[in-house]
Amino acid sequence: MSKVHQIKFVKLNKTIDIIEGESILTSSNNQGLKLPYSCMQGMCTTCMAKIIKGEIKYIHPPDPNSLTKEDIDNNMALLCIATPLTSLIIEELED
């Protein structure tokens, strides 16, 4: 059985369920959110957001040039290639 995790987006003030193994970005947008994206491959950082609480893992590794050390230290993640391992609280970036 697939595990389902609750994902809260603080700025949108929405909480949705995402199945472990699915892309956070794809699943969110399939559920009516309008999160920004472009490449869907972990390269462009359009989908970057801050993980306030919880753990993610990458479905495939991000492009080594996409996230800076500062981004990683700040818990930034690329939602297009990330899946939840626990319930999450995510802060979207200002656009």
Determine if 80 is a binding residue for ligand FES (CB under 6 A).
yes
Determine if 90 is a binding residue for ligand FES (CB under 6 A).
no
Determine if 44 is a binding residue for ligand FES (CB under 6 A).
yes
The encoded tokens of residue 14 equal 């929405």
Nearer to ligand FES, 5 or 25 (CB): 25
The distance of Cα 59 from the centroid of its chain, to the nearest Å, equals 11
The strand pair at 14-19 and 4-9 is best described as: antiparallel
Q: Which residues bind ligand FES (CB under 6 A)?
A: 37-40, 42-47, 66, 78, 80
